[in-house]
Structure 1
Amino acid sequence: MSRSVRRGRLTPWRRRVLDAEFERLLDLDEAERAERLKFLAAQHPRLTRRLGPLLDALADKADHLEAMIREVADSAVAELDGGDTELPAGTRLGAWRLIESVGHGGMGRVYRAERADGAFEMTAAVKLIRVRRDRRLRMRLLMERQLLARLDHPNIARILDGGSTEDDQAWLAMEWVDGQDLGQCREREARDHRHCLGRFLRLVEAVHHAHQRQIVHGDIKPANVRIGEDGRVRLLDFGVARLLADESSSGEPSVRALTPAWSAPELRRGEPVSTQSDIWALGALLHWMLTGATLDPEEAVDIEALSRNLGKSCPQPRDLAAVIAVASAHRPDDRYPSAAGLMRDIERYLTRQPVLARSQTRRYVLTRFIQRNPMSVGASALAAVLLVLGLAGTAWQARQAALERDRTQLEANKTEKVSEFLVGLFEQADPWMAREQELTARDLVARGAEQIRVLRETPLVQAEMYGVLARVHRGLADYERAGRLAAEAVEVLAADPEIPPEDLADAWSLRADTLGSQGRYQEAETAHRRALELVADSPLPVQARHMNGLGLTLYSLGRLEAAGELFETSLAIRAEHQPDSAELAEAYNNLALHRATIDRNREAREYYDRAIELRRKVLGEDHPTTSFSLTNLAVLLVQTGRAEEAIPAFREALAIRENAFGNRHPAVASVLYQLGWAHSHLEAYGLAREYYRRALEIRRTSLGEDHPSVAVVLNAMASVARAEGDHESALDHLERALAIYRDRLGESHHDIALVLTNLGATHLQRGEFEKARDFLERALAMNRNELGENHHHVADNLQALARLHEARQQTELAADYARRALVTYSSLRDESSPAVAESRALLERIQGGH
């Protein structure tokens, strides 16, 4: 008679050996693996028999890890005494009569049962737990049952009773919950993320309640969560819970049934359950509730990937991604210390407060404050602060670099002081603290400037506060006051000889930016050069940052050769010292801008592509900075006559910004404006006009009627009206744009010169030659004064005057202007560029007498 051979018991030590050998086999190629298996079969036949099924699971590579762990767990459970014989209906366990088996759970089989002693009517879930017939273990389970019965929480299925069968198997009777499991509920309600988070919060509260009583769950997963018919969520099956005190003191090896997709990394390694493994499972459960996908432990640390997945269904996905990343960190010590920490962060997210899982930067804290108080802060303040925080353009890139610097404790103290100052400043917008009137952004920053002067803070703190308010005023287009505040920051720091040169350089750089906003480019150049001198002995990446600022100013002055050299040097430094960084992407972007201006379009396209690729890699597909490179590339496509190809890129950028900021943000209006511009090049004037209208509405609402950004759109709308022959509308738009610019920028600015050029072109079309000549000559003089002689705007004005005099049949004057335009274009761009070719054709036509 043959006798079956019983496999050796899989102890935790044997499991670790099995796991280690399996991982070693995974790293071998097929030939090496076969050789290793041959050796193991001769030396360790039992181990080889266990490895076989695990290696077979590799046929489905996506599931091999889960198959491995399930095999190990099932083997462990199968070797417990007692088997898994299903008890027949009608079996009595204490006061309960079994009705039917309803499935497996944790370490045993679950039955629906009814009260059979006649005391009262009640349905329960009875779980028969398969354990070794061991007196000490029975005693532990008895103690555990008594403690479980003390769990009194509305979101935990209550323990009603317990005992042992005739053959000493333990059982627990738990509250029966009619309804559906979490998986069924998620299929219907996945789109309502706040509803999902509300239910998740109740589950975390339940787990925290148990942890406070030194009880862990050990098997948190969707199948152990039920939604009752009353809508209440309940956590089921504390049947695999362990007393932490007993786990730490007992020398007995413990064997658990694991659900791999919901098991923390340490559980997969064979370590005991803990409060930290429960927190990991809660993070995985949150990910599943919001995305429908199980969480890969290796991907839990990838904030960008998590954010992209969550962004499909949730606003502020980076907050939730950070929460999940902390809850499900690989190392238990890196997770929330308790379920209460996870609970607080979910509550903070739901109330639009900063979650503690994220770094508490000033930008982040203030953004969440404004989102909580949109009415009290006001629309214009919102737009201004978001601009200040760097959420709309190259200013953001610069601040990112600054934030990544390795600060000393002084810097940390400075940041804390400034954050307190700003939060206190914006709390003044609270309706309970300002009942007399609604405070605007200008009211707030004006009060802030007054406060700084009486604060007895260090120069670094005062200067940083001045800098913050300077950036606020720039966002409000109050460039003169922004300049004064930036100058105060420089003055405060320059008066203290102990100030680090890099901090003083940052102040000079901000001063230069405010001067540039006022169109005072020569003074801005001087300020940038002073900043660059201060960092002459600093690390090269710091110098590269200030080279970039100076390069942008020289670019605005039309000194393209010098600007290009700075951009190239900055790129070389960042490529060597900051590879795969946002700073390197910025360098590619700026050099592309330069190359596009001088009509080296193939190079420009290459650099823009690199910037986009790198920003997608470093910052993510849906990061707003990525969208700026997309729009720059699209602008290049329009300028090279490929407007149709540009439109998809503009639309992708629009989707990114709407997802990040909502559909009423100035950054969204910028893309709408660019879409209008692209359609105007395609002579789709109706679509262009609609995009401009939407951009205008957003800018007026968020920035105010008299913001220079409103004038930009009015100027563009005038060009469309002129193209359609509607000269009256064109002139009306231009007069309003001119009034805004003069009010904000004074009488001389290169943006004013653009409007004057457009006015001249409109009057030229109307045949009003004297008015056209007056506007065009004023534009030319203004551009020469603001930008210098060698600038493409000056060349544009010269060419417009050439056309005017050609129309008046003043051939000599026309030829003179056309010749000077050609010389200027040729000094700036390649001979093959469209601008040079068009200018040469105009001159030849004039000289030919046509």
Structure 2
Amino acid sequence: MTGQPTDRYLRAKYIAMSALEVDASGRDAAIARECGDDEALAREVRWMVAAIECSHTATLPLLPGDTVDLSGLDAQAAAPLRYRLVRRVGEGGMGVVYLAERVDAGYAQQVALKVLGAAAVRSPMLLERFARERQLLARLEHPGIARLLDGGLFSDGQPFLAMEYVEGERIDEWCDRRGLDLRARIALFLKVCAAVEYAHRNLVIHRDLKPANILVDAQGQPKLLDFGIARLIDAEATEATLTEAGQRALTLAYASPEQIEQQPLTTAVDVYGLGMVLYQLVAGRRPWQHITTPHQLSHAIVAGEIVPPSRSARQADANGDAALRCTVPADIDAIALKALRRRAGERYATVGALAADLRNWLEQRPVQARRGRRLYRLRRFLQRNRWPLTAAAALVLSVLAGLATSLYSLHQARVQQRLAEQRQRQLERMVQFQQSMYDSVDIGAMGHAVVAATQRQVEAALAPAAKGAPAAGGALDDAFANVQATDIARSAFDTYVVTHTLDSLDRAFPDAPQLATDLRQSLARVLLGIGSYAHAADELREVVAARGRERGDSRDLLSARVDLARALEAQGQTNEAAGLYAGTARQAEALASTDELRIAAEAGSARMLVAQGHQQQALTEQQALYAELKPKLPAADHGLMQLRRDLVDTLVQMGRRREARAELEPLLALDTRVLGAENPETLRAKLTLAKLLRSQGEFERAQDMATQVAAVRARRLGAEHPDTLDARYEAAINAVKLTNDEAGLAKLRATLQHIVDMRRVSYGADNPQTISAMTGVVALVAKQGDIAPTDRAAQRYYAQATTLEHTVLDSHLRQLGPDHPHTLLARGSLASLLDKAGQYKQALVQAEQTLAGQRRTLAPDDPIMLGTTNMIGDIRSDMGDWPGARDAYRQVLEVRAKRFGDTAPHTIESASRLYYALAELHDASAAAAVRRRYLDPVIAMDPKTLNAAMRSVRDEAIRMLKP
């Protein structure tokens, strides 16, 4: 045997090694495909496969504690050393690796013992390569490289290597099992780079870098293994034959193009291998992982067309097999793709250069892979110095800096290669325009406006004082304390910065209308953020019209339509918003199901169905959309979390409170963890929970939660911001439930009336937002009638409440129709007020009309219908129709006890009233049964341990039992 391989041998060896990577059931087909009509070559390949498998299976798997080796005895080296085998830990085409114990005169040490397989021993090339591995490992002493401890021949002449035994996991599996984030993975990968860089300094190229050859030990230290096909950088030309064989002894999935093409190898091959490992760590999969045949994979590697890791990670995430569920930034895309360039000269010159670029990313410095982009480098500078810059910036500059970032992001998304230079010039114009706007803001006028607004608020606070009398110091302090500084700042910012900038747009960009439209949309989003919804809607209508005239990216038009729908939704213009959402959702069907614009349009369309009263249809669409997106998106995805909040709102509207609460409480915890306690979406979820608690009678918790939300929103948005008013309204409604004195209710009435007045100014008198606030005033006035000291005073309050409720009902009938949930709720409230006012017949008519509408639109056992049926029982009771009252109460009690339990507040309410009706009908036995089951257990409770709702129903139960 000469030791010189023929081309035919190398071809057969390559096909055999590739076939071993294929499952046994498809191996014959793979061999036939590669060999074609050459039957002799096919027979040689099958012989090689059988020989390799024979060498792999000749040694039976060893259990821990076994001391059997290849000869059936302890492994005896020619030198006076003994190794006792423990178990087999790995194998490859060249040999088998065992966990072994070195025993030498009482000295024991665990090692990884690598021995050649039966087929490899007969190959001079593989024997030479095995010897070379020992030579190379002897040169290397690094904490990131498994150390060579011993080597030589066993007594039977079989060569071996004894290396440091690394008890660890593959680097990718180690990261996945611990859920490491991107920064932690990069930090771990830099340790691998340090080991490879050390090997290069010692003139060693590894040539087979892959996750399986990098193990991470218990201390988190990665170790580089398997230098079986490594070679010296300064190897002599006489070793060309061995190099050729080494190039074929590779792992195809991680091979570089020059290895496939059998070109001379340099350190660039290890840069490529590190790029492959980096790609798999950040994307959760290899490039070309979908390719299963060696022939196609070789062509793909040589072609060098690689999908960026960020896109590959999204594809893997959509299939449910991505371990790292996060966004891969553009910098990491650029670094990985530079390391994986098709041509070796275009990659990083050294491993050190690759590591330096990764450290740049960790330190938020510009990476060399994206060198030459000035704005990119500026952004990196701002990221590194965010806190000093933030501390030095005023409110206006902070907002405008955010606006600049938004505009840059919008611009960057639109960039195409053929328009790069043109868009660069446009961006420079945008920056110049922004600078000119900063310079031209009239700071003096802005300051005078702030002072004038402050003066007006102080004068209004001091108005009750005697005219002409000097204001006391304390009164002035109180007046200044009531100045709404955030509202004044928001108004000034809208007028003197945003509006000023908008007025200058068309003059600044007469030749670039598309650029002006981009800026207008970004400024409209700023208006949405500060609560100037009407102004934002006006600007967005212009944007939509301009986008419709442009022959540009239709995605931009969809984005503008979604923004406009949000502005209309915030103003309560439900029908117009619904049409925009629905139309945009149809146009977005061409986008991926996980596209953020498509999700926003589809979710908004479902929300509008709720607002229009089609709650069941909305719930069906929301549940279907959530079921489709949940497996495809991470739990913290913005669109998915928004959809979950919408689902909760719909369940609350439908009275399905238990389901809503079970979904809302974990969602609120996720919002708090991912977004922060004061994020607007977290505050929205918290306010929804407050509304849910109120509907379940937990008024104290609901009021406390709503008050917290109102305080944060007032501080961040201003006291008169629509979102702040929503939270203040919820806190006031709960306070009404908990207040039982005239002075307290009078103060709350002023608060609720102020909210109604503010909404009337912002939205109009007939807007659903204004009318919904009026329902709170109705509830408060009715409560004033309940606690009035005289019947005459009570009737006066009930008459006021009835008049207000008629206004609410008439508005809902005009705006929403007779069967809308809000209309039916208003009609039911009117029936209750008429009952309190003693107008029983009219009350019964309104109540029965309410129940009929609910039967047309709700499920037969809907909790809302139970409340209406219970109210009919109350009206019939007041009319003296005890049989009718008994039947109504009995029907409600049966369902409530089954659904909510015997001691739930609503259950006890119905039980108390049924008991009273039965007593009036002299049905003593039935009344006693109700008392034993429902009333006595509640009366026995300690009132100090009960919330307001339970104390109220307990007090009512006690009243019903009195003769």
Same fold (TM over 0.5): yes
Cα offset, 1:215, TM superposition:
0.5
Match for residue 691 of structure 2 among 677, 682, 697: 677
2:289 corresponds to 1:275: no
Question: What residue number does 1:788 align with?
Answer: 764
Match of 1:532 in 2: 544
Which stretch has the larger CA shift, 351-360 or 406-415? Answer: 351-360
Q: Which residue of 1 aligns with 2:642?
A: 628
* Equivalent residue pairs, number: 719
Q: Deviations 1:481-511 (Å, cap 9, x if unpaired)?
A: 1553333443443223454323222333344
Aligned-partner Cα distance in 2 for 1:574–1:188: 35
User: Residues 325-344 of structure 1 correspond to what in structure 2 (within 5 A)?
Assistant: 333=342, 337=348, 339-340=351-352, 343-344=355-356
> Which stretch shows the higher mean deviation, 663-672 or 399-408?
399-408
Q: Which amino acid aligns with 1:820?
A: T
1:99 aligns to what SS in structure 2? Answer: strand
C-alpha distance in 2 between matches for 1:658 and 1:388:
26
Deviation of residue 590 (structure 1)?
1.8
2:75 equivalent to 1:92: no
The C-alpha deviation readout for 1:290-314, integer Å capped at 9, x for no partner, is: x9x9999459764247779999999
Tell me the equivalent position of 1:834: 821
Q: Which residue of structure 1 aligns with residue 206 of structure 2? A: 216
Q: CA deviation at 1:574?
A: 2.0
Conserved? CA contact 1:784–1:794, under 8 Å? yes
Structure having the higher Rg = 2
- Over 3 Å counting, the alpha-carbon distance change for 1:474 and 1:623 in structure 2 is farther
After superposition, the C-alpha distances for 1:86-114 in whole angstroms (9 at most, x for unaligned) are 99644226xx7453456566533568798
CA distance in structure 2 between the partners assigned to 1:157 and 1:313 by the alignment = 27
Task: Sort the Cα spacing of 1:619 and 1:451 in 2 relative to 1 into closer, same or farther, 3 A.
Answer: farther
Aligned to 2:227: 238
Distance 1:529 1:413, change over 3 A: same
Contact 1:155 1:203 in 2 (8 A): yes
Deviation at 1:678, TM superposition (A): 2.1
Match of 1:568 among 582, 587, 600: 582
Aligned mates of 1:790, 1:678 — CA distance in 2: 26
Range 598-607 or range 294-303, more displaced: 294-303
**Counterpart secondary structure, 2:83:** strand
Identity score, percent: 18
Instruction: Provide the residue aligned with 1:436 in structure 2.
Output: none
Query: 1:490 is paired with a residue of what secondary structure?
Result: helix
Between the aligned partners of 1:371 and 1:709, the Cα distance in structure 2 is 34
Match of 1:546 among 523, 539, 560: 560
Shift of 1:627: 0.5
Cα drift, residue 157 of structure 1:
3.7
What's the counterpart of residue 303 of structure 1? 313
Distance verdict in 2 for CA 1:321–1:25, change over 3 Å: farther
Structure 2 length as normaliser, TM-score?
Answer: 0.57
CA contact 2:487–2:718 (8 Å) conserved in 1: no
Q: Which of 505, 514, 517 in structure 1 is aligned with 2:517?
A: 505
In the aligned structure 2, how far is the partner of 1:217 from the partner of 1:371?
A: 37
Query: How big is the shift at 1:170?
Result: 6.2
Contact in 1 for aligned 2:78/2:153 (Cα 8 Å)? no
What corresponds to 1:453 in structure 2?
439
**Residue 820 (1) aligns with residue 807 (2):** yes
Tell me, yes or no, if the aligned pair for 1:215 and 1:244 is still in contact at 8 Å.
yes
1:352-367 counterparts in 2 under 5 A? none
User: Whole-Å Cα distance in 1 between the matches of residues 673 and 287 of structure 2?
Assistant: 24
Instruction: Name the SS for the 1:790 alignment partner.
Output: coil
What residue number does 1:405 align with?
414
The 1-side partners of 2:744 and 2:435 are apart by 41
CA RMSD, aligned part only?
6.5
Amino acid at match of 1:303: A
Distance in 1 (alpha carbons) for counterparts of 2:353 and 2:743? 60
Residue in 2 that maps onto 1:653: 667
1:713-724 map, 5 Å: 713-724=727-738
Asked which structure has the greater RCO (Cα within 8 Å, sep 6+), the reply is 1
C-alpha separation in 1, matches of 2:508 and 2:428: 19
Deviation at 1:351, TM superposition (A): 5.5
Structure 2 counterpart SS, 1:239? coil
Counterpart of 2:490 in structure 1 is 478
Query: Normalization by structure 1: what TM-score?
Result: 0.64
Which is further off, 359-368 or 580-589? 359-368
Distance 1:534 1:478, change over 3 A: same
Q: Aligned in 2, Cα 1:325/1:10: closer, same or farther, shift over 3 Å?
A: farther
Partners of 2:487 and 2:230 in 1: CA distance: 56
Q: Does residue 593 of the first structure (1) align with residue 580 of the second (2)?
A: no
Identify which of 775, 787, 796 aligns with 1:809: 796
CA distance in 1, matches of 2:795, 2:381: 60
Alignment-derived partner of residue 196 in structure 2: 207
Residue aligned with 1:495, SS: helix
Most deviating of 606-615 and 595-604: 606-615
Would the aligned equivalents of 1:109 and 1:129 in 2 still touch at CA under 8 Å?
yes
Post-superposition Cα deviations, 1:813-841, rounded to whole Å, max 9, x if no partner, equal 76654443223212332421221113334
What's the offset of the Cα at 1:181? 3.5
Contact residue 136 and residue 230 of structure 2 kept, 8 A: no
Q: Once the 2 structures are TM-superposed, how far is the Cα of residue 601 of structure 1 from its aligned partner?
A: 1.6
The 5 Å alignment of 1:65-104 reads 74=53, 89-92=75-78, 97-101=81-85
Q: 2:228 is paired with a residue of what secondary structure?
A: helix
- Output one character per residue of 1:452-497: Cα deviation in whole Å (capped at 9) or x when no partner: 5399xxxxxxxxxxxxxxxxx9999835315533334434432234
Structure 1 residue 727: Cα displacement: 7.3
Structure 2 unmatched ranges of 5 or more: 1-6, 59-68, 292-308, 442-484, 786-793, 844-963
Task: Please report how far the alpha carbon of residue 206 of structure 1 lies from its aligned counterpart in structure 2 after TM superposition.
Answer: 0.3
- Report the Cα distance in structure 2 between the residues aligned to 1:356 and 1:507, rounded to whole angstroms: 31
**Helix, strand or coil for the counterpart of 2:671?**
helix
Q: Distance in 2 between matches of 1:487 and 1:226?
A: 58
SS in 2 for 1:688: helix
Q: Residues 663 and 831 from structure 1, CA distance in 2 versus in 1: closer, same or farther, beyond 3 angstroms? A: same
Pick closer, same or farther for the CA change 1:221–1:671 going to 2, 3 Å. Answer: same
Q: How far off its partner does 1:646 sit?
A: 1.7
1:792: how far off?
Answer: 0.9
Task: Return the offset for 1:573.
Answer: 2.2
Give the whole-Å Cα distance in 1 for the aligned partners of 2:564 and 2:597: 16
Is the Cα contact below 8 Å between 1:156 and 1:236 reproduced in 2?
yes
CA 1:784–1:353 in structure 2 vs 1: closer, same or farther (change >3 Å)? same
Which amino acid in 2 is paired with 1:92?
A: A
AA aligned to 1:640 is: M
**Alignment partner, residue 655 of structure 2:** 641
Change (3 A) 1:358 1:170: farther
Could you tell me how far 1:275 is from its partner in structure 2?
A: 1.8
Report if aligned partners of 2:169, 2:216 keep a CA contact under 8 Å in 1. yes
